[in-house]
Structure 1
Amino acid sequence: MSDHSSGNITVHGTVAAGYERVRDEFSAVLTEEHNEPGAQLAVYRDGRLVVDLWAGDGIDGDSLPAVFSSTKGAAHLVVALLVQDGTLDLERTVASYWPEFAAEGKGALTLRELLGHRSGVIGIEGGFPDADLADDRVIAARLAAQAPFWEPGKEYGYHALVIGALTSEVVRRATGRTIQELFEERVRAPYGLDLHLGQPAGLEPRYVPVRPMNPTPEQAAEIAARPSDPESLQAVAFNVRTDLVEWINTPSVRALGPASVGGVGSARALAGMYAATLSEFAGRPALLAPETRAEFARPGLTGIDRVTEETDHFGLGFERPQMVYPSLGDGAFGHCGAVGSQAFADPASGIAYGYTRRRFAYPGGAAPENARLVAAVVEAAQSSPSTGSDPAAA
């Protein structure tokens, strides 16, 4: 164990030799971050833990923050495994698994297109009640009958709070099991990961409650100046009626673990999950074959996202983090989360990265400090051979 102090921040944890700059950057971004968020950072290289750091109020290495949309990476890892097994076929229509989904002109949409956020059923006008938003079965039933907001398959837009419910219903119809059940059985338990899609009640003392964004005066002014349209696609996709901080801090929501946004877990577990997709991990073989990783990381429909206005940022269920972090290889895949979390695998470098924080970051999504941290991680990996050693108390 090694502590490192900078200003009012003490960074706890370890880094392997050659990764000292990552610790320095982690310390620097938290020192400069006026919100004092508290955060965790973990990195595996070729299956070995090379960075394991945490800092801030009420957080240690075993704390369980909410990871919001980084949950989608866990959910769609299950889908990738089922495709790899031959249980699911990307070219089959969603309706062939789930006949009710064919309503309102959605019958031709394929599973590949659904995973690319192309269904057009991003939510409902007026929004789901908070209790319904936590229940994937309720969301799926409602959206099966919903008319899409664009022609299915022809455009794409972030299905922020519902994509996990839609893909989970396909999984349930094909296997009789939920994504949450399959994640527990095939990923979390066998690989010993502290990442939960459905938080057990006994883990409640380790949960780190989310804190709302605390913008600077300049950021607050920018937020106030944004146009607000409750009927916009963004308002529909992000269920504008819901206070996401209060919602995720509700134990019953985390107990259900909605597959889009309901996961809790440590940075170590997020990174470990992606490490397990790349190589042997925890004494078990890699979860994904190289061809499966390549298929799910490959860009789907290109162009502008109808909801977020981002460009070319989805593969199949996963985001393509190299669009934000250009030092990553073209086959990288992962998912960020609204509270600022980021997690991904980069097959080109053997890196698996996990970052969590407890306060919403401005302007939302992956916290801006990830750019500095990822750059430091990649630089360290490029200059340090993969020795397979455990972190040194550097």
Structure 2
Amino acid sequence: MTDTRDTVTVHGTVTTGFEGVRDEFAAVLAADHTEPGSQLAVYHRGGLVVDLWAGEGITGDSLPAVYSSTKGAAHLVVALLIQDGAIDPERTVASYWPEFAAEGKGQLTFRELVSHRSGLIWADGGLGIEDLADDRGVAARLAGQRPYWTPGTGYGYHALVIGALTGEVVRRVTGRSIQEIFEERVRAPHGLDLHLGLPEALEPRYTAIRPPVATPAQAAEAAANPLDPDSLRARAFGFAADPPLDLIALVNTRAVRALGPASFGGVGSARGLAGMYAAAVDGLDGRAPLLTPATVAEAGRVRYRGTDLVTGQTDHFALGFETVGADYPALGEGAFGHSGAAGSQAYADPVNGVAYGYTRRRFALPGGAAPENERLSAAVSEAVAKL
């Protein structure tokens, strides 16, 4: 189906009852005058009920970078390994990875690590694009790094490195990488268009992320409140580096896409993102859900409360996933997922049987889940409530 409204042409389909989601998708794109281009996919109880896209050069099969929505894929692997009993979240990281004990980190548990409590948000000497592409190299650097706060005493978003850290534990336990396990246990069996390591053959489908376009109000806000280069936020995102890390160039680099670093290097469609959470919680194509009800509950449970030392968000992390209920109040208790810097969002709402995926081509300011996700998520929740 093709639907043209206010000069925005919306492609794709919705099932009966979800027409309001298509209307809202068209409305938010019509209101975005910075060259709209995005995808939206929603599964309900394991069935695809929304599959929409719009924008020049965008199709339902386009594969943009999803930045930190990658963390959802990485920590789905972690959840599976905990569910299997291969990783004990209460054991210390150093018991799996002895080198990690350096600089006072020996008592940090794996649960604390995956909850962003290690204090290892960056490496002395900096991390360039080529460095960040290599999870094993990042892990080796951070094993000996002095943390930015006493491990276990608080949490702060390890924006560009958490997947390298948790991935090294996965490697020490299984002998395999997060990327390999994701491919074999999640992506390939379900035919998901979400890749932690984009094959060369799929490069023609890659949709490059484009730089943001600031509104006058956003530009004025940035000028009035410049980021402190010594802040934890500046360090965690590489903005304190010399030169500052270019987040657009980071994902638009073939080496990053090829290796798929587990913190930010995933490439996929909205269908792939939503399909991953549907496979995890509800099951796809007649397959059993990847996660047991107990693991699903654990994935969305906040164990450590407080304010994020990097982003200022509150009670933000569960088992490596972001809690999303505070951002989208209509969701059921225990909803979990992960957003990405360019504006992507993906989550599971187990109570209501919803799996949601959204991607953007142009980087949305100020970063993280694009503002339109609030409207789109509300439209999805309203449609589900009326079924």
Q: TM-score range by the shorter chain?
A: over 0.9
Aligned to 1:158: 157
Residues 223-277 of structure 1, C-alpha deviation per residue, up to 9 Å, x if partnerless?
1222332221111100112101012111111101000000000000100000011
Aligned to 1:356: 359
Asked if 1:255 corresponds to 2:258, the answer is yes
Q: Which runs of 5+ in 2 are unaligned?
A: none
Asked if 1:200 corresponds to 2:199, the answer is yes
Q: Distance in 2 between matches of 1:324 and 1:275?
A: 20
Instruction: Report the Cα offset of residue 133 of structure 1.
Output: 1.0
Letter in 2 for 1:285: A
Q: Distance in 1 between matches of 2:4 and 2:125?
A: 48
Letter in 1 for 2:311: T
Secondary structure of the structure 2 residue equivalent to 1:54: strand
Residues 4-37 of structure 1, C-alpha deviation per residue, up to 9 Å, x if partnerless?
1111110000001010000000000000001123
Aligned to 2:222: 223
Aligned to 2:167: 168
Letter in 1 for 2:92: T
Secondary structure of the structure 2 residue equivalent to 1:323: coil
Q: Distance in 2 between matches of 1:342 and 1:102?
A: 34
Using structure 2 for the length normalisation, give the TM-score: 0.98
Letter in 1 for 2:186: V
Aligned to 2:298: 295
Q: Distance in 2 between matches of 1:285 and 1:322?
A: 25
Letter in 1 for 2:266: G
Q: Distance in 1 between matches of 2:227 and 2:375?
A: 31
Asked if 1:9 corresponds to 2:8, the answer is yes
Query: Residue 44 of structure 1 contacts residue 353 of structure 1 at CA under 8 Å; is this kept in 2?
Result: yes
Aligned to 1:389: none
Aligned to 2:376: 373
Aligned to 1:316: 319
Secondary structure of the structure 2 residue equivalent to 1:108: coil
Q: What number of residue pairs does the alignment pair up?
A: 383
Secondary structure of the structure 2 residue equivalent to 1:35: coil
Letter in 2 for 1:127: G
Q: Could you tell me which of 345, 350, 367 is aligned with 1:347? A: 350
Q: Which runs of 5+ in 1 are unaligned?
A: 385-394
Secondary structure of the structure 2 residue equivalent to 1:121: coil
Q: Distance in 1 between matches of 2:294 and 2:124?
A: 39
Query: Residue 210 of structure 1 contacts residue 359 of structure 1 at CA under 8 Å; is this kept in 2?
Result: yes
Q: Distance in 2 between matches of 1:358 and 1:97?
A: 39
Instruction: Report the Cα offset of residue 179 of structure 1.
Output: 0.1
Letter in 1 for 2:329: P
Secondary structure of the structure 1 residue equivalent to 2:233: helix
Query: Residue 125 of structure 1 contacts residue 231 of structure 1 at CA under 8 Å; is this kept in 2?
Result: no
Counterparts of 1:100-115 in structure 2, within 5 Å, are 100-115=99-114
Q: Distance in 2 between matches of 1:371 and 1:218?
A: 20
Counterparts of 1:1-394 in structure 2, within 5 Å, are 2-125=1-124, 127-240=126-239, 241-384=244-387
Residues 312-359 of structure 1, C-alpha deviation per residue, up to 9 Å, x if partnerless?
111010000101011111111100000000000001100000000011
Secondary structure of the structure 2 residue equivalent to 1:43: strand
Percent identity for Structure 1 against Structure 2: 68
Letter in 2 for 1:27: A
Q: Distance in 2 between matches of 1:228 and 1:265?
A: 31
Instruction: Report the Cα offset of residue 283 of structure 1.
Output: 2.7
Letter in 1 for 2:287: R
Instruction: Report the Cα offset of residue 216 of structure 1.
Output: 1.0
Q: Distance in 1 between matches of 2:323 and 2:37?
A: 26
Secondary structure of the structure 1 residue equivalent to 2:9: strand
Residues 286-331 of structure 1, C-alpha deviation per residue, up to 9 Å, x if partnerless?
0000100111210121111000000011101000010101111111
Q: Distance in 1 between matches of 2:216 and 2:126?
A: 30
Task: Compute the RMSD of aligned alpha carbons.
Answer: 0.9
Query: Residue 125 of structure 1 contacts residue 236 of structure 1 at CA under 8 Å; is this kept in 2?
Result: no
Query: Residue 70 of structure 1 contacts residue 337 of structure 1 at CA under 8 Å; is this kept in 2?
Result: yes
Using structure 1 for the length normalisation, give the TM-score: 0.96
Q: Distance in 2 between matches of 1:228 and 1:280?
A: 43
Instruction: Report the Cα offset of residue 180 of structure 1.
Output: 0.2
Residues 41-77 of structure 1, C-alpha deviation per residue, up to 9 Å, x if partnerless?
0000000000000000110000001000000000000
Aligned to 1:391: none
Instruction: Report the Cα offset of residue 127 of structure 1.
Output: 2.7
Secondary structure of the structure 2 residue equivalent to 1:283: coil
Query: Residue 127 of structure 1 contacts residue 236 of structure 1 at CA under 8 Å; is this kept in 2?
Result: no
Secondary structure of the structure 1 residue equivalent to 2:159: coil
Q: Distance in 1 between matches of 2:299 and 2:106?
A: 23
Instruction: Report the Cα offset of residue 125 of structure 1.
Output: 4.4
Letter in 1 for 2:332: G
Letter in 1 for 2:41: A
Query: Residue 100 of structure 1 contacts residue 145 of structure 1 at CA under 8 Å; is this kept in 2?
Result: yes
Secondary structure of the structure 1 residue equivalent to 2:280: helix
Query: Residue 39 of structure 2 contacts residue 270 of structure 2 at CA under 8 Å; is this kept in 1?
Result: yes
Letter in 1 for 2:303: G
Instruction: Report the Cα offset of residue 126 of structure 1.
Output: 5.3
Q: Distance in 1 between matches of 2:255 and 2:329?
A: 39
Query: Residue 62 of structure 2 contacts residue 206 of structure 2 at CA under 8 Å; is this kept in 1?
Result: yes
Q: Distance in 1 between matches of 2:301 and 2:217?
A: 38
Secondary structure of the structure 1 residue equivalent to 2:322: coil
Secondary structure of the structure 2 residue equivalent to 1:190: helix
Q: Distance in 2 between matches of 1:133 and 1:231?
A: 21
